[in-house]
Structure 1
């Protein structure tokens, strides 16, 4: 199929060239249908999302610009609204489309993580935590509250901080666990720098929560730190 197709203008009876990107859109959709997600790059997958929000414009340059600026498809989806609005050609309709995709991804991975006993679906828990938090531009401290069967009772963001610090209060963590009748916790937070290596403060904070929780019969199974470059388990590192 040629990039330029002929369409008929009923008003004047003349044939006019369709925009060049029409053929590109159809070819990209066809490749995605036939070969799946592995057949398209990050910017091409982003194009497929943008087709719906921007039906009357060539979106390839915008998709390439977004991936170049933020680093990857996932980072574009997770980018703050304020930063997305800084980019020429991006309006509320486009941002809404991106945020719908991001929210959908989080719902899917959360469903995978919670449909079975949490400790027997650990890979799904990690996937969910990374999807939910790894690309945030500020630190968040998330708590997964578990019952005696290690099934998820609740998943809550307790604190949100700055680019490199989140205040965490061990007694508030344990108080919330008691309110929910939780018998175990998984602590999760992100490092916006991308490096999930735990800091001394991360280790000390984890130990403080364990000390407050243990006498009340609440176990801390792990503290997971996620970032763009991967994740770290304090239990896996034998730090707790």
Structure 2
């Protein structure tokens, strides 16, 4: 679907005021819909984007929902197209790079809050369950951040053999398991606990330590290690 054509004159004064509020302050005074409105205005310059911005906020449940929605979901909204969807997606990419920098430059265990911020930004709003594994070297520096599988709304498969083989291929000495619960509740299930223990046992035999299994949800996160489950 193409980006909406010009549909009524959006006062240049209004857009200019938004721009000045952004440049002359720190942007904290902008409403959520105004942030989306301004991003859309860059992609669709000859159109009033205020109503479309409000529609997106309503549809996806807020600013975070809009900025983390996948491209297909964004393009499915009437008035949205590739250019406007990309204008929104680039914000998530930039934000992810920003918060992931300490995760990639420092030992993971000494930048734990940065890791949680990075994972929440990337995974809290996903509508399908995704399993990823962070593979670390002997200094606990990140070697690789792999998406291992993606599943239905409530289940993604994780295979012990697949995780351990990848760790060996990378020369990793430890790893952190991560997955999301689209339901929003980050509490681990019995299956989560069982598969974690299987991976821990398989890793022990090969000198690969499992630091934690983190579960991300809209309601927060849980750490199986801090819960005493591993």
In the alignment, which of 73, 80, 84 is matched to residue 74 of structure 2? 84
Matches within 5 A, 1:156-167: 156-167=146-157
1:32 lines up with 2:42 in the alignment = no
* Counterpart among 71, 74, 96 of residue 61 in structure 2: 71
- Asked whether the 8 Å contact 2:212–2:223 carries over to 1, the reply is yes
1:173-195 Cα deviation digits (max 9, x unpaired): 01100100000001111111222
More RCO (CA 8 Å, sep 6+): 2
Q: Aligned pair 1:41/2:35, yes or no?
A: no
The more displaced of 20-29 and 63-72 is 20-29
Q: TM-score by structure 2 length? A: 0.93
Match of 1:171 among 144, 161, 180: 161
Which blocks of at least 5 consecutive residues in structure 1 are unaligned? 1-17
What is the rounded CA distance, in whole Å, between the counterparts of 1:38 and 1:195 in structure 2?
29
Out of 118, 125, 130, the position equivalent to 1:140 is: 130
- Determine the structure 1 residue equivalent to 2:49: 59
Gaps of 5+ in 2: 1-7
Q: Following the alignment from structure 1 to structure 2, what is the Cα–Cα distance between the partners of residues 19 and 82? A: 28
Runs of 4 or more off by more than 6 Å in structure 1?
none
Q: State yes or no: 1:128 paired with 2:118.
A: yes
Residues 145-154 or 19-28, more deviating: 19-28
Task: Please state if 1:189 is matched with 2:179.
Answer: yes
Name the CA distance, whole Å, in 2 between partners of 1:60 and 1:181.
Answer: 51
Choose which of 84, 102, 114 in structure 2 pairs with 1:94: 84
Q: CA RMSD in A?
A: 1.4
Contact 2:65 2:125 survives alignment (8 Å): yes
Deviation at 1:37, TM superposition (A): 3.0
TM-score (structure 1 length as normaliser): 0.89
Quick check: 183-192 or 36-45, which moved more? 36-45
Please give the alpha-carbon distance, in whole angstroms, between the structure 1 residues aligned to 2:225 and 2:117: 17
Find the counterpart in structure 2 of residue 11 from structure 1.
none
| Pairing 1:230–2:220 present | yes
8 Å CA contact 2:131, 2:180 repeated in 1: yes
Aligned length: 223
Q: How far is the alpha carbon of 1:20 from its aligned partner? A: 4.5
Report the structure number with the largest CA radius of gyration: 1
